């Protein structure tokens, strides 16, 4: 009944009863004079032209601050957009009121100093009908700038008038955001549509912390995994970095937009530039900055590469330093790493051996902290909290070898899926669980024995529990390296 009423309202609006959503931030975030505005936008667009195309674009990622801060970066992305579109979909931050999903301006039209932008009422009605997470909510757009600041760029760049589907989001429910993205992506398939994702980055750390946090968020985006973006934001915020209030002002739009872009065929993210407010506007304070990102989701390429040799060496060094600090009583919470890759969430096991014999092995099967923190935790826990062994003594430290295993995401598996020497295994049954790293195949080469020991030794379950249909089996791979 609700969908019928909303759809009827959209039909009535389509008959001519729509209203103007007047420009709310003209003269504040961008010039109010049409001629001046057109000239400013054209200058930003011109700065981004003449650069070699990178592939077919599924979506653009642009900032939404005042033009003097982020207009240059927005221009870099919009300059890459070519041709004409029937509809532009903008997913943006909702700064002014909380919404449960995606709040649409379904029937009303936006007006900027450059003219009207009419709504795509048919698409809005289809989305409202497809999922209750989409709702027509003009109040969420009334004072919102994150959509509005994109429109002059689109009005100057696109070759012909377009219809607009504008949505603001701010829910923290990742499941809802992925649903919004998948429903939206399915609705846009086969249509001549440009997807725009509007978000800023960090608010309001110092410039150095912003570089580390924004760099980590960029790498998370390059993974093409919305869940990694979601986890990265939370793990970084949990570090209580001074001034860091958010890692992405528009995180909900970003995660939903990434899912939609994937449905539309995006395979990789191509960053154009990362910057921050003090770099864009000289004289602005460097101890309290806002980060900005500009880039393209494209239908070619592949996600970001794995750890480099240099990064692996740094992690091994950090693991040993964590043990030295523990012996010296210098344990303390860690801040952000200078290398953004080490700030990404990770599932890690740290294995200690002495004279070729196991001396401790502890870790997490799923990400619960950043990579660097997970290595520190695993090293200390393997040395002092693995109940199978006595605590490590300082005199042993120099003779202990450290191995770090970075786990891939767990994948639900069948018995026949496990390949000896390749896959690690997790078994879960009746509230008990056990994990073997892929390295265990070196000691237990037979699959029956491998799985039997996993059940009996690690999970405390009957030896043949892995054959029980009620048991859950997961496989994973591991990137392992040692000092």
pLDDT tens digits along 430-459: 999 999 999 999 999 999 999 999 999 999
Fold that domain 309-407 belongs to in CATH: Glycoprotein, Type 4 Pilin (3.30.700)
pTM of the full predicted structure? 0.90
Number of H helices, E strands in the chain: 14, 20
User: pLDDT band at residue 55, thresholds of 50, 70 and 90?
Assistant: confident
Given this model, what pLDDT does residue 137 score? 96
Q: What is the pLDDT of residues 302-324, one digit of tens each?
A: 877 789 999 999 999 999 999 99
Q: What does the mean pLDDT of the chain come to?
A: 94
Alpha helices in 15-169 (DSSP H): 34-47, 67-78, 121-130, 145-148, 151-157
User: What confidence score (pLDDT) does residue 78 get?
Assistant: 96
pLDDT in tens, 455-476: 999 999 999 999 999 999 999 9
For residue 166, what are the β-bridge partners?
A: 90
Mean pLDDT of all residues in 124-142: 97
Question: Is residue 5 scored above 50 in pLDDT?
Answer: no
Model confidence at 17, pLDDT cuts 50, 70, 90, reads: low
- Specify the residue for token string 């799985």: 451
Identical fold for domains 2-298 and 411-482, yes or no, is no
Mean pLDDT of 115-138: 97
Whole-angstrom Cα distance, residue 482 to residue 356?
13
381-410 average pLDDT score? 96
Per-residue pLDDT, 15? 44
According to DSSP, residue 97 is labeled S
How many residues in total does the chain contain? 483
Alpha helices in 48-173, H assignment, sequence order = 67-78, 121-130, 145-148, 151-157
Residue 330 confidence (pLDDT): 86
Mean of pLDDT values over 217-226: 96
For 77-95, what is each residue's pLDDT tens digit? 999 998 889 999 999 999 9
pLDDT of residue 276 exceeding 80, the answer is yes
Task: Count CB-CB contacts under 10 A for residue 223.
Answer: 17
- pLDDT band of 13, cuts 50, 70, 90: very low
How far apart CA 354 and CA 375 sit, in angstroms, is 19
Q: Is it the case that residue 214 has pLDDT exceeding 70?
A: yes
Q: Domain 2-298 belongs to what topology?
A: Protocatechuate 4,5-dioxygenase; Chain B (3.40.830)
Q: Is the peptide bond before 57 cis (omega within 30 degrees of 0)?
A: no
Per CATH, which fold does 411-482 belong to?
Dna Ligase; domain 1 (3.30.1490)
Question: What pLDDT was estimated at residue 433?
Answer: 96
Question: Taking the domains of the chain in order of start, what are their residue ranges?
Answer: 2-298, 309-407, 411-482
172-179 own/partner pairs: CB under 8 Å, 24+ apart: 172/252, 174/226, 174/227, 174/230, 174/255, 176/100, 176/101, 176/133, 177/226, 177/252, 177/255, 177/256, 177/259, 178/226, 178/255, 178/256, 178/259, 179/131, 179/133
Residue 53 pLDDT class (50, 70, 90 cuts): low
Number of C-beta neighbours around residue 38 at 10 A: 16
Is the confidence at residue 155, as pLDDT, over 90?
yes
Q: What is the pLDDT of residue 295?
A: 97
């Amino acid at each position: 009944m609700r969908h019928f009423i909303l759809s009827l309202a959209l039909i009535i609006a389509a008959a001519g009863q729509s209203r103007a959503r007047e420009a709310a931030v003209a003269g504040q975030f961008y010039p109010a004079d049409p001629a001046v505005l057109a000239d400013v936008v054209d200058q930003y667009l011109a700065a981004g032209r003449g650069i070699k195309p990178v592939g077919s674009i599924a979506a653009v990622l642009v900032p939404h601050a005042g033009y003097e801060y982020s207009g240059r970066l927005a221009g870099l992305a919009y300059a890459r957009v070519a041709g004409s579109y029937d509809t532009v979909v903008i997913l943006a931050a909702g700064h002014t009121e909380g919404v449960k999903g995606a709040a649409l301006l379904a029937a009303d039209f936006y007006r900027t100093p450059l003219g009207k932008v009419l709504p795509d009422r048919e698409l809005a009605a289809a989305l409202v009908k497809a999922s209750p997470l989409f709702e027509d909510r003009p109040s969420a757009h009334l004072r919102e700038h994150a959509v509005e600041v994109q429109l002059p760029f689109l009005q100057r760049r696109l070759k012909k008038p377009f219809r607009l589907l504008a949505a603001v989001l701010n829910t923290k429910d990742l499941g809802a955001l992925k649903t919004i993205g998948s429903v939206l992506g399915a609705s846009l398939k086969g249509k001549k549509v440009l997807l725009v994702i509007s978000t800023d980055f960090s608010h309001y750390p110092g410039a150095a912390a912003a570089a580390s946090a924004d760099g980590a968020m960029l790498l998370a985006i390059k993974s093409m995994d919305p869940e990694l973006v979601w986890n990265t934001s939370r793990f970084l915020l949990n570090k209580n970095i001074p001034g860091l209030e958010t890692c992405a002002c528009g995180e909900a739009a970003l995660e939903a937009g990434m899912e939609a872009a994937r449905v539309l065929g995006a395979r990789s993210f191509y960053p154009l530039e990362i910057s921050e407010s003090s770099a864009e506007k000289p004289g602005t304070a460097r101890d309290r900055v806002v980060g900005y990102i500009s880039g393209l989701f494209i239908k070619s390429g592949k996600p970001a590469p794995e750890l480099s040799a240099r990064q692996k060496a740094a992690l091994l060094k950090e693991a040993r330093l964590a043990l030295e600090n523990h012996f010296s009583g210098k344990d303390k919470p860690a801040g952000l790493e200078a290398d953004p890759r080490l700030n990404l969430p990770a599932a890690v096991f740290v294995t200690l051996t002495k004279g070729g014999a196991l001396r401790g092995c502890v870790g997490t099967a799923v990400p619960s902290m950043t990579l660097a923190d997970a290595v520190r935790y695993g090293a200390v826990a393997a040395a002092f909290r693995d109940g199978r062994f006595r605590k490590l003594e300082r005199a042993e430290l120099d003779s202990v070898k450290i191995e770090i295993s970075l786990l891939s995401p767990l994948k639900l598996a069948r018995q026949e899926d496990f390949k000896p020497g390749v896959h690690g295994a997790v078994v879960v049954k009746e509230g008990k669980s056990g994990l073997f790293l892929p390295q265990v195949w070196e000691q237990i080469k037979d699959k029956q024995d491998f799985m039997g020991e996993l059940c009996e030794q690690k999970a405390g379950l009957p030896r043949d529990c892995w054959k029980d249909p009620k048991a859950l089996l997961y496989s994973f791979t591991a990137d392992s390296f040692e000092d």
